[in-house]
Structure 1
Amino acid sequence: MTVTEAAARTTPVPPLAARATAVGGSPVRDILAVTARPEVINFAGGLPAPGLFDRTGIAAAFRAVLDETPERALQYSTTEGEPALRAALAARTTARGLATGADELLVTTGSQQALSLLATALVEPGDTVLVEAPCYLAALQVFAFAGARIVPVPCDPYGVDPEALEAIVARERPKLLYTVPTFQNPTGRTMPAERRAAVAGVAARRGLWLIEDDPYGELRFEGERLPWLASYPGAEDRTVLLGSFSKVMAPGLRLGWLRAPAALRRACAVAKQAADLHTSTVNQLAAARYLADSDLDAHVARVAGVYGERRDAMLAGLADALPAGSTWDRPEGGMFLWARLPDGYDATALLPAVVEHDVAYVPGAPFYAADADRATLRLCFVTQTPDEIAEGLLRLRRGLNS
């Protein structure tokens, strides 16, 4: 038998898992790849402004850790996370109104991993998961990979509608509700205190897990900080709070955490052991050292001040950039602004013409679990300067008019 004949008789390898082909990639990352040219003013990303990273403070923290405890920093660590970092995170959470001990926290490789661990620990194939309409895109991917049946909850400019939530929970018997109640991605909206209390009440009455994702909450430009869902009566034993350093320190550190009731936290720790054993030791220790030696709150205040100016620059130019009859919200913080073009417009279909004018946005349709509003789009305002934002909006007007 010749080599050619043997090759012809080779049996194909088994196929990929169905979920690997059923769940698509991120449209946002696809757009970023297409618009990577330096001349493009890109409102499509969700990246913090790189020029505002505290490079000096972070570099000093890494040097101190590697100079003083290199053996520990470069060694394996515990799955739950470095004690120094967990203690610092617990202190910050407690200071913000939610009493938390270090043992209540699990450090994760970004809060995105926390979502994946929770899906592994909570969701069986076929389970119903409730999400906001629209919803953070990567959360939709996580729950789809877990085999969940994803059902959107009607929302208005103040977030989840509690009455609609109660009716859907009674009808669908879901496992959990995933929400970003503060400066939501993609809409930038914030859920008021009375509505948070109402959502907590529904979860308590109906037997529902709540996953509160809070990557943007510290980036407030105006208004008063609101309590986390776990602070409300009835939600204490059923709420998971996700946090992250990605938007306030640096996303490249890939440091997040979850605060969860004990049994669920232990299940997530087991899932994490199977996924990556533990999050980077040196990154955890450097973050803990940064929190000890630097003033993260002062740094965040400076970043939020700059972001607020950039939000104002975008708001100032939107009326001229978008077609007459368009609507948009005024976020009190975060990174995103959500707009809706008049009826009959399709933001996805319009994007190629807009990109030809060297500017980009993210169409809103992929953020919906069902019944997408194709006239919507998301604009990120934090990466460009006010002058760049003004130029980008001029290009956007030309692109939409073309």
Structure 2
Amino acid sequence: MTSAATLDADDAYPFAEPFRSPQGSPIRELFKYLGRPGMISFAGGYPSKDLFDRQGFGRALEAAYQADPAACLQYGDTAGVPALRRSLARLMAGRGVRCETDDVIVTTGSQQGFDLLLRTLIAPGDTALIEQPAYSAAIQALRLAGANILTVRTDAHGIDVDALRAQLDALPAATRPKLLYTVPTFANPTGATMPQARREALARLAAERRFVLVEDDPYGELRFSGTPVPPILALAATIPEARDWIVYLGSLSKIVAPGVRIGWALAPAAIARRMIVAKQTSDLCTAPLAQEAVRHYLDSGRLAEHLGTIVDAYRKRCEALLNALRNFVPDEIEFAAPEGGMFVWARLAGGRDASETVKRAIEQNVMYVPGAAFFVRDADASSLRLSFAAPTEAEVFEGVLRLAKALQSR
């Protein structure tokens, strides 16, 4: 009989190629430290648990169940509960995007939407573009799909469209990209927001070069300063040829609660139809109980009030973090101030390695995410991401004081 030790070996089973030596999330590897007493975390991109609208969502959950218990407990439509899809279409109208109920696909978080899209578009070896630095789970999804990942240059305002055009001009026909992934509003990890002119240019370029532009928009409602910029999909209304090349991914994780696991996708009809087929073999349907509760919550009008609460809180926490960095580590950390979202992108001065420094930070009971987690290749080892969403203002100041001690303990 084969021993248990042998079966634990990586080569004991006939794994599919992407899973023979898979890379787990470097961010989630840090979560084992969250249980430490007194740990202050700038690491996870988690919304603050203290800001959940527990009362409002509790009422919505109760109302949904009382209205139709059977609908909450039975299987549902793969594309989503029609009433929720109508509510999400109204939400999108508020963002400047006109769509019909049938255009909306409800997903189990926006990450599932991206996964379904990759299943329909990307075969091993196909080329995909992604901004760099980029959301680490999107990088991981592309790697597991077997994509040939090419990175796109960014600056303080997101993707450099002129540089992208030159990059595409230089690519051989055999490596023509099928898609490009971007978080254009309060990007994860950089917090950058792409100006309207760049958005329009990027939409036109996608139509011209015929690649699918994936607009991931989980943070767009979290603006606390500056002038709002419409989603790329909204701008595409004036660029008719571009609408057929944009897939929009939305999520309630950052503005309602991640535990409800509700996201949605808007895609051209031919793509949407295939995403629904892929979803049929994935989870059959997103949990109807969660969908019905979210529908009641959205229709109650509570979201607008709740957004005001969390945006105000995040503005104060972001200001607290920026002030603490200026006061306690002015010469050790360089950073860019965001206009919204949940993140501050920073660099350690003098080329110090953020992956090494985080070890000393954890000893001081504070942690962040080293920036290397957000690079496909050629990582900036001195970069780091600080999330101000979860800690309180008092914890923010204490956390930066601890970070200062870690930086002093070379």
What TM-score do you get using the length of structure 1 for normalisation?
0.95
Residues 72-91 of structure 1: matches in 2 within 5 Å? 72-91=71-90
Give 1:22 shift: 3.2
Distance 2:91 2:283 in 1: 26
Residues 313-392 of structure 1: matches in 2 within 5 Å? 313-322=320-329, 324=331, 326-392=333-399
> Could you list the per-position Cα deviations for residues 246-297 of structure 1 after superposition, in whole angstroms to 9, with x for gaps in the alignment?
0111100000000000000010000000000000001000100111124211
8 Å Cα contact 2:218/2:254 also seen in 1:
yes
8 Å Cα contact 1:49/1:382 also seen in 2:
yes
Q: What is the SS of the residue equivalent to 2:220? A: coil
Q: What is the SS of the residue equivalent to 2:349? A: coil
Structure 2 residue 64 is the aligned partner of structure 1 residue 61 = no
Alignment CA distance shift 1:185-1:78 (3 Å): same
Structure 2 residue 153 is the aligned partner of structure 1 residue 146 = no
Q: What is the SS of the residue equivalent to 1:275? A: coil
Residues 1-400 of structure 1: matches in 2 within 5 Å? 14-170=13-169, 171=171, 172-230=175-233, 231-232=235-236, 233=239, 234-322=241-329, 324=331, 326-400=333-407
**Alignment coverage as a number of residue pairs:** 395
Q: What is the SS of the residue equivalent to 2:317? A: helix
8 Å Cα contact 1:323/1:341 also seen in 2:
no
8 Å Cα contact 2:33/2:39 also seen in 1:
no
Give the partner amino acid of 2:34. Answer: T
Distance 2:326 2:348 in 1: 11
8 Å Cα contact 1:309/1:386 also seen in 2:
yes
Deviates more, 1:313-322 or 1:125-134: 313-322
Give the partner amino acid of 2:334. Answer: T
Alignment CA distance shift 1:343-1:295 (3 Å): same
Give the partner amino acid of 1:186. Answer: P
Give 1:15 shift: 2.6
Give 1:325 shift: 5.9
Aligned to 1:3: none
> Could you list the per-position Cα deviations for residues 157-214 of structure 1 after superposition, in whole angstroms to 9, with x for gaps in the alignment?
0010111111222314111110000000001110011111111121122111100000
Q: What is the SS of the residue equivalent to 1:142? A: helix
Q: What is the SS of the residue equivalent to 1:372? A: coil
CA RMSD in angstroms, aligned pairs only? 1.5
Give the partner amino acid of 1:268. Answer: M
Please list every run of 5 or more consecutive structure 2 residues that lacks an aligned counterpart in the other structure.
none
Distance 1:104 1:7 in 2: 52
Deviates more, 1:312-321 or 1:118-127: 312-321
Please list every run of 5 or more consecutive structure 1 residues that lacks an aligned counterpart in the other structure.
1-5
Q: What is the SS of the residue equivalent to 1:130? A: strand
Give the partner amino acid of 1:345. Answer: R
Distance 1:161 1:31 in 2: 32
